[in-house]
Structure 1
Amino acid sequence: MSGKIELIKVAEPSEIERKSFEIIDSEVVEPRKYDGIEWQIARRMVHTTADFELIDLVRIHSDAVTSGLEALRSGCTIVTDTEMARCGIPMRRMNPLNCKVRCLMNDPEVIASAKMNNTTRAHAALDMTANILKPEIHVIGNAPTALIRLVKLIEDGVIDPPALVVGMPVGFVNAAESKYLLMNHKDIPYITIEGRKGGSALAACVINALAEVVLAERGLSSAL
């Protein structure tokens, strides 16, 4: 790279985020594919990954935003399929909403069950989650087996559809397929991505976008 590099002068983390959103807004011209809260979700996904293609790949069920916001307003339980996703939903956003974020992947019973039944820990954790925690929101950013198992439990009537499923497994083995399974069930409010892209950070950022909406409604700040 040659020539003079002009750095953007920012210091505070909140200012960095605000400036990032300004840049994204300026580079995605209107009319956009999404607007309102749906745009806030898609924009945060781009902010998390610097991948503008996600705007074309994200799929949002018609009930997902309303149902997800209502769950957060009521102080819901959120379950993630990885510790990374759990850590990606900071308690500075969740505590003011009285929401809990759990991940059972490292639970000894989950590990034992996975070994005994020759399944993945994500599959075993989903079963335990359904029986014990009964979360209103599922955040799946890594394991296709978790998303496949969740859809199966709903299909079989073992559990009711949750308020929201953020289904964004990443990779090459059943990642895209698991998301198509999710999108084929119109009674499950979902936010997902077509194809192989995804990840824990991406799935977590969807909850952060929705949480910011509820915090703003209440005149609160996440204190970034």
Structure 2
Amino acid sequence: MAIIKEELGELFCPPEEEAVIKRVVHATADLEFARLITIAPGAVKKAVSSLKKGANVVTDVSMVKAGVNKRILSFLGAEVKTYIGDQDVALAAKEKGITRSMMAMRKAVRDKDNRIFLIGNAPTALFELINLLRAGQAELDLIIGTPVGFVGAREAKEELAKSKFPYITVKGRKGGSPVAAAALNAILYLIQGQWS
């Protein structure tokens, strides 16, 4: 991290946000993320509080789930869940004519212990989650929205950044599963540092 600190210089943001930015830069080896990441005021602190109470984490795809530090989550009494592969999700998505990613979000928000959402891959999942929140069908403590790509990713993240919900996102087309996982892991390491 010393090399990253030297390369980035002063970030002029709260220390908890700086930790997220540095962890993402570390995970991607891409200094540009330091200027692309946007974090809603108070979002990291809200996530810390929620995770300390055992809030579950939901990811849009298994690749994001694979990158999350499950040891710290387990210590907090929480777990990480992914619904996209559930048979009932696939069947309901086909029946309704929507993507499995969208249906997975609909299923995930029904469990009130699911408070932290990581969307690293599917823009449709992020759009659906924002719509569910706006419709009052969900109440969350953090959305890490970092889908990557040329179709819908930038637009979904822009929509998140315009919202009043606690979020961490990335401007433009960059992002992806490693970015989403790294952002959450930074928050988990902050918590770990508080108890060690």
Q: Which runs of 5+ in 2 are unaligned?
A: none
Partner of 1:139: 118
Radius of gyration: which is bigger? 1
**Alpha-carbon distance between aligned partners in 1 of 2:113 and 2:101, rounded to the nearest angstrom:** 16
Distance (Å, rounded) in 2 between the aligned partners of 1:170 and 1:77: 24
Which residue number in structure 1 is paired with residue 152 of structure 2?
174
Q: Distance in 2 between matches of 1:82 and 1:209?
A: 19
Structure 1: give runs of 5+ residues left out of the alignment.
Answer: 1-20, 220-224
Equivalent residue in structure 2 for 1:69, among 48, 58, 64 = 48
- 5 Å matches for 1:67-216? 67-132=46-111, 134-160=113-139, 162-186=140-164, 188-216=165-193
Residue 218 (structure 1) aligns with:
195
How much identity, in percent, do the aligned residues show?
36
**One-letter amino acid of the structure 2 residue matched with residue 165 of structure 1:** I
CA distance in 2, matches of 1:96, 1:43: 24
The 2-side partners of 1:96 and 1:132 are apart by: 20
TM, length-normalised to structure 2: 0.96
Q: Determine the C-alpha separation between the residues in 1 that align with 2:128 and 2:58.
A: 14
Using structure 1 for the length normalisation, give the TM-score.
Answer: 0.84
Give, in whole Å, the separation in 1 of the partners of 2:109 and 2:9. Answer: 42
Higher relative contact order structure (alpha carbons within 8 Å, sequence separation ≥ 6):
2
Q: Which runs of 4+ in 1 moved over 3 A?
A: none
Give 2:136's aligned amino acid: G
What residue is the counterpart of 1:3 in the other structure?
A: none
Give the SS at the match of 1:52.
coil
Question: Secondary structure in 2 aligned to 1:99?
Answer: coil
**In the alignment, residue 56 of structure 2 is paired with which amino acid?**
T
- Structure 2 residue identity aligned to 1:214: I
Provide closer, same or farther for how the CA distance between residues 134 and 153 of structure 1 changes in structure 2, counting only shifts above 3 A.
farther
Instruction: Give, in angstroms, the shift of residue 90 of structure 1.
Output: 2.5
